[in-house]
Amino acid sequence: MKNKAALGMLAVFLLFMLPMMPKARAAEGMWPLSNLPVAALQRRFHFTPTARWIRHVQLASVRLAGGCSGSFVSPHGLVLSNHHCAVGCLEGLSRPGENLMAHYFYAATRRQEPRCPSMEIEQLVSMRNVTAAVDGATRGKSGAAYAAAMRAISNRLETTCVAGHARKWRCEVVRLYHGGQDWLYKYRRYQDVRLVFVPSQATSFFGGYPDNFNYPRYDFDISILRVYTHGKPAHTPQYFRLSSRGPRAGELVFTSGNPGSTERGDTVAELRALRYPVFPLLLQLLAHQQGLLEAFSAANAHNAAIAAGTLFFIDNDIKSIDGQLAALHNARQFARKVRAQALLRAKVAANPRWRREYGGAWKAIAMAERRNAAMLLPDTMILDARYFSARLFNIAFDLVLGAHERTLPDAKRMSAFRAANLPLLEQQILSRAPVHPSLDKLELVSTLTMTRDLLGTDAPICAALFAHHSPREVALHAVEGTRLASVAFRRTLWQGGERAVATSTDPMIVLARKVLPFYLRLYRQHEDEVIAPIEANTAKIARLRFAVYGTRFAPDATFTERVSYGVVKGWLRDGKPVPPFTTVAGLYAHARGYNPLKLSPRWLAARHRINPDTPMNLVSSNDIVGGNSGSPVINRAGRLVGLVFDGNPPSLGGAFWYDDANNRAVSVDSAVILAALQHVYHANALVKELRSGK
Amino acid sequence: MKNKAALGMLAVFLLFMLPMMPKARAAEGMWPLSNLPVAALQRRFHFTPTARWIRHVQLASVRLAGGCSGSFVSPHGLVLSNHHCAVGCLEGLSRPGENLMAHYFYAATRRQEPRCPSMEIEQLVSMRNVTAAVDGATRGKSGAAYAAAMRAISNRLETTCVAGHARKWRCEVVRLYHGGQDWLYKYRRYQDVRLVFVPSQATSFFGGYPDNFNYPRYDFDISILRVYTHGKPAHTPQYFRLSSRGPRAGELVFTSGNPGSTERGDTVAELRALRYPVFPLLLQLLAHQQGLLEAFSAANAHNAAIAAGTLFFIDNDIKSIDGQLAALHNARQFARKVRAQALLRAKVAANPRWRREYGGAWKAIAMAERRNAAMLLPDTMILDARYFSARLFNIAFDLVLGAHERTLPDAKRMSAFRAANLPLLEQQILSRAPVHPSLDKLELVSTLTMTRDLLGTDAPICAALFAHHSPREVALHAVEGTRLASVAFRRTLWQGGERAVATSTDPMIVLARKVLPFYLRLYRQHEDEVIAPIEANTAKIARLRFAVYGTRFAPDATFTERVSYGVVKGWLRDGKPVPPFTTVAGLYAHARGYNPLKLSPRWLAARHRINPDTPMNLVSSNDIVGGNSGSPVINRAGRLVGLVFDGNPPSLGGAFWYDDANNRAVSVDSAVILAALQHVYHANALVKELRSGK
């Protein structure tokens, strides 16, 4: 048994025995199109992507503004994505008493394709490096001044790029390498998105929550949408044609999509803050919400239907954060992080110029994280409460906050309220998706009660909101008295701006007005004391990394277009190999008589029509995270061979590191997409369009 | 900016600069009556407890088997405890459609005192040191052999002590200093407990969840019960008389009660396991349950009433574990723990005999914690599921497990099923407290679904339970078909033993039977691979601590009688002093028109009758934790001056360490108890009995 002191000495010794540069793992990296790992691809796979190949991938890939990826799969605007990426559309299209997720849907002709009430699909048309402009505008600034300068330059670049056509173009300053590089991405926006095909959720999410983030899987998690311009299918000459046979084991494949966010460039202090207090609090709030909605759903089928969409995402988030928290408590992996940071800091310490320039960055970030922890409860309940709260309140708050923000010059507004983003916001506020006051009551009572419980009866916001009534009474009064279920009423308030909102006596608007000053103060405080110092100092560290390691590493994910390469292969779980493919036969074998293992009538009936050997799902070593849902899996020839819809359990640590031996992306095989559309759903016109482009 | 290597050297250096023995803090310690800190009391307060004083405290204090403390307050069996300690009784006594927690209750005559359906109160009558006997029986053993030997010797000692009168006596082997000392405690058991007085919950829990574990407080958290023998009030000549004036600021006061458990002697590995994965998982499950019951309660007043008791404890647990988790993430305090352990291990490393004897203990505990973490999900869902699940299932499982265990010799049974504990168990199984199938459905569906979700569809227990039906269907079938709501039916099964249980077709019994083999296997595995090695090695470390530090430290809490001393005083919160007392005037000022700040009609009406300067609640530096609820606060003269009902926020870290500057016990002042019983409730006979003993 060694004592502590001896172990301390050993640690010091080991520190200098380690290789001086962390190595990128095999298939690690979500690469921007501007920096594909060409050398590695050539060396390992004798494949060199041509400019034409890259351009094709760029234009055939799309982003779903709700947080997913997708791709064009015909020249007539046909988009392939996941069923779970179309949930908002399906909920919005469900009439009262109807639940579009309970059944499959297929529009055999274009006239039968209904428009999703609130959906935007975006195609990346150009990218421009604007690092010099951003550096020039922000250099030497910190704190509030840095944040203001960053907002101003972003706004100037984006406004110029959009050139007054905010409904057609979206322009975004994209920070790669945490500010080491800045780019201006320009997107073609499609807001007329229509539904062509979805299976039932029982089929898309077969195996349900217990199988989620697991493998083997048997999910047909697809949705097929179509984008329209001027009432006609958009012309999309760059698209991926589906392979009828899918990929082979060991084959090189690429994913193209929009991974949401990763923390691979984060400092140790930031990862520690996630371990505690951020993730445990978030898990607690999500689990509370999960219990609330489960009990609500248990009351009757109508309740179950209207809560299903939210519950799906809560379940998913819980499982995802559970996995991330587990990864952060992997002592070996975390120690690698600590060592890598120590190595970088040792380099800084040894170089006087670097010490001056970068030496304070880690401490500044650690201090910002301490501020963040101190403000976590009010931030969560006031800034983030919308995540947990009722739709009618969210609409009211968007109206009130939107009225306030629109009085400011564009550059000073919060991102969601800048001119470029107003069309999307307006679409959400004026969405015809039905409101559910019974659910809103439950959620608003819960959010307000929890605000009071966590912040305390005497917190200023509680004194303001609950002066004479309980959180429950305040919530019920607002939901029962509001007229915001009416889209026309919302439109009046939206168009009426600050004056209309200030004079409204609608109780939900009144409630949102009371929250506003607290929200604004906290937002600014969070921006100045947490976001700005973290961004500024992370950018410093990123510049340092550039100086040391160059761009041999892929930047952290930013919900922008990235390509990852990988190989179709399984992994070892508890020492036993997990094969890369499942088959249609496996689907039938895994089925039981009850949910979530119940086959839909269509699949039951098709049992003898569809070839049981058809590959169903597959895993590959592509480096993906949330946001990649709906990403096409393509081969060297640019054919679509699969559709990403999940990751295996170890992939949840992908937020912080990539582990080639274990991280796997889970996809629907293109073979089963074509086979099932034909033999299970008899979607002949659709199959023809997918096969022939006509 | 120092680099990592330099920091490492600094840490090594500092390690040897620290004092070589951790100091006990001022009022730290929950002291067994066999080891009161006499020297410290004499030195600091010029007070020496006499043998008579100690004997009086022992016999006037009681333990509530449900997990609380209390004391005799008249010679006729009158017991003072907290309202929240009597919740089980109030729920059990509430007729359908009635909620005894919504109103105050006062039995003006003895004939009006109703019997609590399921409650046991215990008085500690003797204590005997049995360390030598336990050591002799367990020395040299480890793993399963150690556990079996420990069970056998405990059983032999307890059985001899009870001497065939299991309804009258409870005997327990109590391990102090984690096995450094073993004692045999003998209790007089009172199972005929009747209700004399409770305020409404609005009064006892004024301020509700947001004020819970906070201060200033204004709670009248009292219950008054009476124990009977042979249908008459028990004769209890040793009791505490209530002081009509309460304590003064700065006064020395004692608490006498049964702190549940603390982890102050735990190794660093055990505390780390609580940080992750134990507490985050527990918080998640509790928050889920909280959401479930909140939504259930929101449906109607009946639901709210039947879920209130469980919800109260869930809320309380969440807040308590949140506080403990926060304490474990206090870097400064945790570092003290790490240093103290390193010091002890350094002593071991320097002594060849100690190295042989104790050197492996920390590693063995760390390994057991790794096993514990690996089994945490099945353990939580199968061994502990009863905590989260439906009452009807719990009854069924007690019947099934009880039938199985009773076929074993007493020494081989699980603790709850040993002869000495059967009366309490029988009382619970055969309790007439109403069952609520609607709540049971919700809870059982949730527990079974979560079992499936967390363990996976293909886990053996899921294959066994959900072969042909979903968790939901299985749960509904069992709740809807069971006859266990009938106490007579339960009695037949209980008396019929293994044969009756094995042949029963009651669907809840069938379900419990299916769970049983998994439960038994996991229980044994947990016992052998986690509990036994931790206990054996913790005992080793405790013996080492004895060798090094003697009994200058109090042992960790074990839900047995302990006295702590302290002083009535406030603390500094964010640099501002919190005064030690609140008053009745403060109660009226804190009130609002809505729950949980609404005054009861009685208190509203009494506003001008009760002196506003009457002290209401107070804080003192006594070292307490959960289990101390209901503890009397007594002065040097043995008068009752207060009633413990809570701790302040820093006291939640009391599980791991005591901090004299901040840890505070929160009590009801005895002055307000007498004043309110008289002026608010007009409980004249009761006041007379409390004042005069008649």
Reported as a single tens digit per residue, the pLDDT across A198-216 is 999 999 999 988 888 889 9
Task: Give me the mean pLDDT over the B32-42 stretch.
Answer: 94
**pLDDT score recorded for residue A432:** 85
- Asked whether residue B14 carries a pLDDT value surpassing 50, the answer given is no
**pLDDT score recorded for residue B386:** 62
Q: CA of B359: which chain A residue's CA is closest?
A: A1
Half-sphere CA count of A650, side-chain side, radius 13 A: 20
- Asked whether residue B440 carries a pLDDT value surpassing 50, the answer given is yes
What's the rounded Cα separation, in Å, for the pair A673 and A690? 10
Residue A366: closest CA among A432, A433, A270: A270
Nearest to B345 among A1, A207, A593 (CB): A1
Residues 6+ apart with CB under 8 A from A618: A246, A247, A568, A580, A581, A582, A642, A666, A667, A669
- Hey, CA dihedral for B621, B623, B626, B627, is it positive or negative? negative
ipTM for the complex shown: 0.81
- Asked whether residue B291 carries a pLDDT value surpassing 80, the answer given is yes
Nearest-neighbour CA in chain B from A664: distance (Å): 19
**pLDDT score recorded for residue A10:** 30
Provide the 3-class DSSP secondary structure of residue B252: strand
- Asked whether residue A218 carries a pLDDT value surpassing 60, the answer given is yes
Structure tokens at B129: 């040191």
The per-residue pLDDT for range B168-223, each reduced to its tens digit, is 999 999 999 887 889 999 999 999 999 999 999 999 999 988 888 889 999 999 99
The per-residue pLDDT for range A280-326, each reduced to its tens digit, is 999 999 999 999 999 999 999 899 988 987 888 899 889 989 999 99
Residue B359: closest CA among B371, B347, B372: B347
- Asked whether residue B493 carries a pLDDT value surpassing 50, the answer given is yes
**pLDDT score recorded for residue A387:** 57
Break chain A into its structural domains and give their ranges: 33-120+191-261+559-692
Name the residue with tokens 């033999």: A679
Helical pair A4-15 and B4-15, crossing angle rounded to 10 deg: 170
Structure tokens at A8: 């301390």
- Asked whether residue A25 carries a pLDDT value surpassing 80, the answer given is no
**pLDDT score recorded for residue A434:** 85
CA A652 from chain centre, in angstroms, equals 14
What's the rounded Cα separation, in Å, for the pair A193 and A114? 8
**pLDDT score recorded for residue B433:** 83
Name the residue with tokens 């008899």: A682
Nearest-neighbour CA in chain B from A549: distance (Å): 19
Task: Give me the mean pLDDT over the A552-559 stretch.
Answer: 90
Task: Give me the mean pLDDT over the B339-363 stretch.
Answer: 94
Going by the DSSP 8-state scheme, the letter that residue B519 receives in this structure is H
Partners of A285 on chain B (C-beta within 8 Å) are 287
Task: Tell me if A277 sits within 8 A of A271, measured CB to CB.
Answer: no
Q: Does B597 touch chain A (CB under 8 A)?
A: yes
- Asked whether residue A169 carries a pLDDT value surpassing 90, the answer given is yes
Which H or E element spans position B256? Answer: strand B252-257
Q: Does B468 touch chain A (CB under 8 A)?
A: yes
What's the rounded Cα separation, in Å, for the pair A582 and A529? 50
Compute CA distances B126 → A137, B120, B239, B258, whole Å.
80, 18, 17, 15
Structure tokens at A574: 């508890």
More confident residue, A25 or A428: A428
Binned at pLDDT 50, 70 and 90, residue B387 comes out as low
Work out whether strand B581-583 and strand B615-620 pair parallel, antiparallel, or are unpaired: antiparallel
Residue B619: closest CA among B668, B691, B678, B550: B668
Q: CA of B12: which chain A residue's CA is closest?
A: A5
Half-sphere CA count of B229, side-chain side, radius 13 A: 12
What's the rounded Cα separation, in Å, for the pair B236 and B303? 40
Instruction: Tell the CATH topology of A33-120+191-261+559-692.
Output: Thrombin, subunit H (2.40.10)
Structure tokens at A307: 């809560």
Task: Give me the mean pLDDT over the B117-146 stretch.
Answer: 92
Residue A32: closest CA among A259, A237, A264: A259
Binned at pLDDT 50, 70 and 90, residue B310 comes out as confident
* Amino acid residing at B539: A
**pLDDT score recorded for residue B388:** 63
Q: B217, B275, B284: which to substitute to probe chain A, counting the most A Cβ within 10 Å?
A: B284
Question: What integer best gives the mean pLDDT of chain B?
Answer: 90
With b for 16 or more beta-carbon neighbours within 10 A and e for fewer, the A195-227 pattern comes to bbbbbbbbbbbbbbbbbbbbbbbbbbbbbbbbb
Question: Chains A and B: how many Cβ contacts under 8 Å?
Answer: 174
Residue A161: closest CA among A186, A143, A135, A124: A186
Task: Give me the mean pLDDT over the A410-430 stretch.
Answer: 87
Partners of A284 on chain B (C-beta within 8 Å) are 283-284, 287, 318, 322
Residues 6+ apart with CB under 8 A from B45: B252, B565
Instruction: Tell the CATH topology of B33-120+191-263+556-692.
Output: Thrombin, subunit H (2.40.10)
- Asked whether residue A160 carries a pLDDT value surpassing 80, the answer given is yes
**pLDDT score recorded for residue B178:** 80
Q: A284, A314, A370, A450: which to substitute to probe chain B, counting the most B Cβ within 10 Å?
A: A284
Partners of A277 on chain B (C-beta within 8 Å) are 326, 329
Phi, psi of B252 (to 5 degrees): -75, 125
The per-residue pLDDT for range A28-65, each reduced to its tens digit, is 899 999 999 999 999 999 999 999 999 999 999 999 98
Residue B308: closest CA among B514, B106, B101: B101
Report the Cα–Cα distance between both ends of chain B, in Å, rounded: 74
Task: Tell me if A107 sits within 8 A of A668, measured CB to CB.
Answer: no
What's the rounded Cα separation, in Å, for the pair A386 and A375? 17
- Asked whether residue B57 carries a pLDDT value surpassing 70, the answer given is yes
Name the residue with tokens 């009828």: A244
pTM above 0.90, yes or no: no
Nearest-neighbour CA in chain B from A112: distance (Å): 36
What percentage of chain A reaches a pLDDT higher than 70?
96
Binned at pLDDT 50, 70 and 90, residue A24 comes out as very low
More confident residue, A596 or B485: B485
What's the rounded Cα separation, in Å, for the pair A345 and A350? 9
Which H or E element spans position A690? Answer: helix A684-692
Cβ contact, residue pair A12, B12, below 8 Å: yes
What's the rounded Cα separation, in Å, for the pair A419 and A156? 11
Nearest to A597 among B16, B288, B457 (CB): B457
- Asked whether residue A647 carries a pLDDT value surpassing 80, the answer given is yes
Compute CA distances B232 → A68, B193, B601, B689, whole Å.
73, 11, 34, 16
With b for 16 or more beta-carbon neighbours within 10 A and e for fewer, the A53-62 pattern comes to bbebbbbbbb
Provide the 3-class DSSP secondary structure of residue A20: coil
- Asked whether residue B478 carries a pLDDT value surpassing 80, the answer given is yes
Partners of B453 on chain A (C-beta within 8 Å) are 209-210
Task: Give me the mean pLDDT over the B105-132 stretch.
Answer: 96
Task: Give me the mean pLDDT over the A314-342 stretch.
Answer: 91
The per-residue pLDDT for range B390-425, each reduced to its tens digit, is 899 999 999 999 999 999 998 889 988 988 788 889
**pLDDT score recorded for residue B1:** 29
